[in-house]
Amino acid sequence: MIQDRLAGWVSDLTTLHELTERLARTGSLDEALDELLRAGAALVGARRGMVVLEPADGRGPASTVGLGLAHADLGHIETVPRSATGYGRILDGGTAGVPGPVAQADLLHDAALDPRHREVAARLGYAASYALPLATEDAGRLGAAVWFYDEPAEPVERQRHLVGLYGRYATEHLARMLELERTRRQMAVIADELLPGRLPRIPGVRLAARHLTGTRGGGEWYDALPLPEGALGLAVGSVSGSGPSALAAMGRLRASLRAYAVMEGEDPVAVLSDLELLLRLTEPARSATALFAYCEPAPAAHADGSGSGSGSGSGSGSKIVLAGAGHTPPLILGQHRTEFVETSLSAPLGMLACWEAPSVEFCPAPGETVLLYTDGLLRRTGDPMDRAFTRLHTAAAGVPKAMRDDPGAVADHVLRTVLPDALDGGRDGEDVVMLAARFD
């Protein structure tokens, strides 16, 4: 008997170790909630479950995540008065004196059960539930997890003990992920504040920008500013590193580039050379990629057939001169072409003792859109770089004709095609910036 008990303890410890290791490898709050549900279901012998994240401090985020339950199922459960549910009793307990686990072993035959609870349980096909509080001494109540049984049942003492031990560890991990999520959200707000609040209106060109925040980002940026004589400056860039320091460096670099662009925007090489010197003096341990384009839109040049150019841009009257420092090449798309602009090979800013690379010039035709983007877009695909470039080119070439007059629609289509989950809230990976300029 002693040997059997020892073997059982060893098995339980091994199971807990494996489950906590899996939880520790989660890198976001959503991943941790999903893992908590799966592990808890295995420990209590249930098939479905739900976790309600509702921090008692009111700072959020608040969410409800299900296991084996569709979105509509979660909606049905939430129509049950909270006082009638085990997880509701836990959530309504306040920050002090959080109730312990709540078992409801036979929902369909409990005479004291709220009729609405019995109706929902019968509709969704569960007959019992076991709710576990998620709370720590420091953070207080974070939420509650509940698992549902298909038949009348409740965890035995051994299962309660195991899920209790796991729940204590999981809650501490959730508290850390919660603080990390709050920090990321605050950084995303700050990053948005550091980027342009609105894009300028320049005759002959229409602009749209997209900024997708990621869990490992912070240094991606873009800018668009009006310059003398109706010209336009466009810039994108990326600062090495992540977190608050990269965010601060990004803000300083973008502000400096604006000043250099006003002084010598017609010479993009000079603008980036000045930026490289500033980076070397103020951020010697940091590097950055950047691309600056000096644009001369000509909205009336093609109305009477005047204007000059070369290749497919002939007759537009618009001209772009750009220089890049270790940055991905722009992509130009229109009725007759979808191609990357050939830029000179150059090192990122801060990588060489003295940076300088020749600029390139091209002429977009009327109706063509130029896409500037950061390399976070390519890395976030998870593909090798050559395949990522191919995916981007294919996405741009596939923009429907009905969308091509709207630079915002073009940017959204390309992003959704290259990163299907990005515009729906997916934030895994680096920040992504895209700046679209459509020339009339």
pLDDT for position 439: 94
pLDDT for position 317: 77
Compute the distance between CA of residue 122 and CA of residue 217 in angstroms, rounded to an integer.
46
pLDDT in tens, 19-30: 999 999 998 899
Indicate the burial class of 83 (C-beta count within 10 angstroms; 0-12, 13-18, 19 or more).
exposed
Model confidence at 314: pLDDT above 80: no
Mean pLDDT confidence for 135-147: 90
pLDDT for position 306: 41
Model confidence at 316: pLDDT above 80: no
pLDDT for position 284: 83
pLDDT for position 219: 82
pLDDT for position 321: 95
- In degrees, to the nearest 5, what angle opens at C-alpha 196 toward C-alphas 182 and 186? 5
To the nearest 10 degrees (0 to 180), the angle between helices 2-24 and 29-44 is 160
Mean pLDDT confidence for 55-81: 93
Mean pLDDT confidence for 237-266: 87
Q: Which residue has the tokens 């009348």?
A: 152
332: nearest Cα among 321, 323, 342: 342
Compute the distance between CA of residue 249 and CA of residue 350 in angstroms, rounded to an integer.
13
Model confidence at 127: pLDDT above 60: yes
Model confidence at 340: pLDDT above 70: yes
Mean pLDDT confidence for 110-114: 89
Compute the distance between CA of residue 119 and CA of residue 111 in angstroms, rounded to an integer.
13
Sorting pLDDT into bands at 50, 70 and 90, what band is 374? very high
Higher pLDDT pick, 219 / 67: 67
Model confidence at 259: pLDDT above 80: yes
Mean pLDDT confidence for 293-319: 58
Mean pLDDT confidence for 341-347: 81
**Percent of the chain residues past pLDDT 90, beyond the cut:** 59
Mean pLDDT confidence for 112-128: 94
168: nearest Cα among 57, 357, 36: 36
Mean pLDDT confidence for 74-80: 94
HSE-up (13 A, CA, CB side) for residue 244? 3
Model confidence at 96: pLDDT above 70: no
Higher pLDDT pick, 192 / 270: 270
Mean pLDDT confidence for 81-104: 81
Compute the distance between CA of residue 382 and CA of residue 296 in angstroms, rounded to an integer.
36
pLDDT for position 217: 59
Q: Which of 60-74, 205-219, 299-313 has the highest mean pLDDT?
A: 60-74
Sorting pLDDT into bands at 50, 70 and 90, what band is 77? very high
Q: What does pLDDT average to over the chain?
A: 87
Mean pLDDT confidence for 305-332: 70
The length of the chain, given as a count of residues: 440
Burial call 191-219: b when 16+ CB within 10 Å, e when fewer: beeebbeebeebebbbbbbbbbbbebbbb
pLDDT in tens, 175-213: 999 988 888 787 777 777 777 878 999 999 999 999 887
Model confidence at 156: pLDDT above 60: yes
**For 22-31, 104-113, 275-284, 409-418, which range has the lowest pLDDT when averaged over its residues?**
275-284
Mean pLDDT confidence for 355-379: 90
Mean pLDDT confidence for 330-351: 88
Model confidence at 260: pLDDT above 60: yes
Q: Are 288 and 276 in contact (CB under 8 A)?
A: no
pTM above 0.85, yes or no: no
- Both tokens of residue 395? 């996405």
